[in-house]
Structure 1
Amino acid sequence: MSEEFLKVAHAARDAAAELAPLPRAPKDRALRVMADALVAATETIVEANALDVAKARESGTSEAMIDRLRLDAGRIEAIAEAVRQIADLPDPVGEVARGSTLPNGLELRQVRVPLGVIGIIYEGRPNVTVDAAALCLKSGNAVMLRGSSSAYESNTALVKVMQEALEDTEVPSGAVQLVPGLTRDSVKELMRARGLVDVLIPRGGASLINSVVEESTVPVIETGVGNCHVYVDAEADLDLALTILLNAKVQRPSVCNAAETLLVHADVAGTFVPLAMAALAGAGVTVHGDPAFVAQGAVEATDDDYYAEYLSLDIAAKVVGSLDEAVAHIRKYGSAHTEAIVTRSQGAARRFVALVDSAAVAVNASTRFTDGGEFGFGAEIGISTQKLHARGPMGLPELTSTKWIYTGDGHIRS
């Protein structure tokens, strides 16, 4: 590893040790100072962001992506307000997860503690730089940030402002670090920093997440990829199903909890398929379907379509002969993010919930609710689609581990 990388990694490690025992008050105060500093530095941040925007435009980046990259005074104020909201959230550190007194009188507690140093590898929007830093600090963790090279100037300015703000607080300024470098080598250094970095969280598209999962020697919490399904059961209220489908697909198609596949039970397909096709076409959605949908104007689906996370106004569609066939389809093609069933049958709902192995399962509700804010967490670092440590929307408690503490009075084991 380069000396430059080791310098920031060790700084983060040292800061994590100082930060971990801090109570809530100094952490909240530091976050509020940080929020105020970001607003005060608006001009500097916007100037740095303008360099990234100009470079992106010169390289032919789409206007949609440039808009995700762009910062202005309003967006910086919104970022700062999000930091203030995180400061208002309960602190998970020190919370007793379990506790008991053993028959021998030994007092036993399992308490939440910070993970240590969290590495975040992410794409696109520079607001993630601040969001991730604030969530990590609130949960007592130091953070090493490796954002997209397209936002390097913006991220550098944001981290500098946050570090300088923390110098006037009890939270060590080294707790927020930007991984140096613009090449993939710097990403690899972060992925191989086992012993210096405790966990990695990738945020971005499937290729980024797969790369981190496959190449990292640091433990990874896999997040984000969402091939989410809406299954319309034989006992569904079809008007309700149509409303849920449109919300799940159309409200915000570029996010991981948007629906990407529609499954319809054969018993209601004759009525629902034409309704769905008309409604989806009216919303500008291209349907990639099986013969039943093609007969109503859909594009013929390939096997790849059923695996796809479109993140666009496209959806795959298929008629299935049973609930169990729908579940089998989800197991084969899904990404274990969120699946929804629309049904009036409590038995069908219970069976679907029991059989579907995903981070979230919705009954008569849109897939779009799989979100930390919607779940009442206040904020999230991402949505985990794996099974170990954390699953589903990851709020502050998911950025902690636990420690067992037992207290005796001269107890010895016989």
Structure 2
Amino acid sequence: MTDDLREQVHEAARRARVAAKVLATANTQRKNTLLLAMADALEANADDIMAANERDLAAGREANIGDALLDRLALNEKRIGGIADGLRSVAGLPDPVGDVRRGSTLPNGLELRQVQVPLGVVGMIYEGRPNVTVDAAGLALKSGNAVLLRGSSSAEQSNIALVKVLREVLADNDFPADAVQLLPCHDRASVQYLITARGLVDLVIPRGGAGLISAVVQQATVPTIETGVGNCHVYVDRNADLDMAHRILINSKARRPSVCNAAETVLVHADVAENFVPEAVRQLAAHGVTVHGDKRAAELADVVPAVDADWDTEYLSLDIAMRVVDSLDEAVEHIGQHGSGHTEAIVSDDVRAARDFVARVDAAAVMVNAATSFTDGGEFGLGAEIGISTQKLHARGPMGLAELTSTKWVVWGDGHVRPSS
């Protein structure tokens, strides 16, 4: 069975490589027409997709997977419309393939151009959220790549329904259906075979919990981009507008607590703690959020006593940690020790403090007087995103079309030969 699964994954990768060669030469108009047709088809098949999704939700409820994970899994007509609109947004974005990043003509007459090109075959490993299935496929196709999708068993029926629609549209538009393939999801070995398919797969992107991402990054022989773990902080400075700080905190935490850009810790300068903390706890409680506060926060409001593990926890739920700090320096130090490099925010009317925070905090995105919830490919104008990279090489932050390309050097000559040394 193991050998059969390995061959199944590798055969899918081989078919994807064939499809990728077709995609690499497709012009922008053809790709955009494809994406728009996919968006329409998703909405036209919404009833079938929601029926499949309900089977996943029923299985999830029976398995007691929790409200936050059920929320990530759930699809309804509005969410399917949003997924379709994501494809339409990607269709409207500039095509990076063929763009010249830099170029010159050398003194000897050689013309150099560094041109953006597709990566080839992209493997996507993700948990729960079936919208990632379509987001990943749309971005991969627009950037000229074939994609191998390895979703979680919790979303199996939803993913099957979504990929069925996408593959039918590919075939109807004279593209190889194997440009989008769904890999088996019940045996973890399929992940291992994907991330070690060096020579067949050009890039793997894990998107999910810390355990998944760590396992893929440590075990992969295929190049990998680390994404998504979001232990995000909101720091309320001594010169913050407290009404603004409350709005930003609530939006960062309670808007959608199950996503990676949700705030997990709020740090409050001691000079404003007495005024800020009680009202913050009251407003958070009104939104169903439990506050895990340190000793100083507990002296000001009714909170659950925080333990050391709270500072490193990505709750993905209606929970948040709260700590009172004596300075911006202490806030930056705390973030440096406990942050995941995803998104950090400062609320302050002091421009110098804000600039200091921006310069010193090491994260893919830093917000000044704005909610952490804005770290999102759509909000950044990238269309749908394939993930949020928390590493520093190749891509960092929300990953859109440009991050799914590489480059090649194209050199034009006129019988040029290099002199013998």
Equivalent pair of 2:148/2:183 in contact (CA under 8 Å): yes
Q: Shift of residue 41 of structure 1?
A: 4.2
**CA shift digits 1:115-144 (9 cap, x unpaired):** 111111111132322221111111100000
Runs ≥4 in structure 1, deviation > 6 angstroms? none
Q: Shift of residue 295 of structure 1?
A: 0.8
* Structure 1 residues 70 and 226, CA gap change in structure 2 (3 angstroms): closer
- The match for 1:363 is 368
Aligned residues: 414
Determine the C-alpha separation between the residues in 2 that align with 1:345 and 1:412.
60
Whether 1:116 aligns to 2:120 is yes
- The match for 1:277 is 281
Aligned amino acid, residue 371 of structure 2:
S
* Structure 1 residues 288 and 70, CA gap change in structure 2 (3 angstroms): closer
Q: Shift of residue 334 of structure 1?
A: 0.2
Determine the C-alpha separation between the residues in 2 that align with 1:63 and 1:309.
16
- Of residues 286, 303, 326, the one that matches 1:321 is 326
- The two structures have a TM-score, normalised by structure 1, of 0.92
**CA shift digits 1:53-72 (9 cap, x unpaired):** 44334434446644544545
Whether 1:403 aligns to 2:408 is yes
Q: How does 1:297-336 map to 2 (within 5 A)?
A: 297-336=302-341
Q: Percent identity?
A: 64
Determine the C-alpha separation between the residues in 1 that align with 2:25 and 2:351.
48
Q: Shift of residue 105 of structure 1?
A: 3.3
Determine the C-alpha separation between the residues in 2 that align with 1:182 and 1:303.
35
* Structure 1 residues 77 and 371, CA gap change in structure 2 (3 angstroms): closer
Q: Shift of residue 189 of structure 1?
A: 1.1
Gaps of 5+ in 1: none
**CA shift digits 1:80-130 (9 cap, x unpaired):** 343233222221111122223334433222221111111111111323222
Determine the C-alpha separation between the residues in 1 that align with 2:240 and 2:162.
49
- The match for 2:92 is 88
- The match for 1:21 is 25
Whether 1:211 aligns to 2:215 is yes
- The match for 1:295 is 299
Q: Shift of residue 228 of structure 1?
A: 0.9
SS at match of 1:15: helix
Whether 1:265 aligns to 2:269 is yes
Q: Shift of residue 20 of structure 1?
A: 1.0
Gaps of 5+ in 2: none
- The match for 1:55 is 59
Determine the C-alpha separation between the residues in 2 that align with 1:68 and 1:319.
32
Equivalent pair of 2:68/2:258 in contact (CA under 8 Å): no
Q: Shift of residue 330 of structure 1?
A: 0.5
SS at match of 2:172: coil
Determine the C-alpha separation between the residues in 1 that align with 2:384 and 2:370.
21
- Of residues 101, 113, 118, the one that matches 2:105 is 101
Q: Shift of residue 79 of structure 1?
A: 3.4
- Of residues 6, 9, 19, the one that matches 1:5 is 9
**CA shift digits 1:380-402 (9 cap, x unpaired):** 11111111110011111111111
Q: Shift of residue 270 of structure 1?
A: 3.2
* Structure 1 residues 368 and 301, CA gap change in structure 2 (3 angstroms): same
Alignment RMSD, CA only? 2.2
SS at match of 1:253: coil
- The match for 1:354 is 359
Aligned amino acid, residue 90 of structure 2:
I
- The two structures have a TM-score, normalised by structure 2, of 0.91
Determine the C-alpha separation between the residues in 1 that align with 2:48 and 2:275.
58
- The match for 1:340 is 345
SS at match of 1:145: strand
* Structure 1 residues 95 and 290, CA gap change in structure 2 (3 angstroms): same
**CA shift digits 1:224-260 (9 cap, x unpaired):** 1111111122222223222222221222222111111
* Structure 1 residues 76 and 245, CA gap change in structure 2 (3 angstroms): closer
* Structure 1 residues 267 and 250, CA gap change in structure 2 (3 angstroms): same
- Residue range with higher mean Cα deviation, 369-378 or 264-273: 264-273
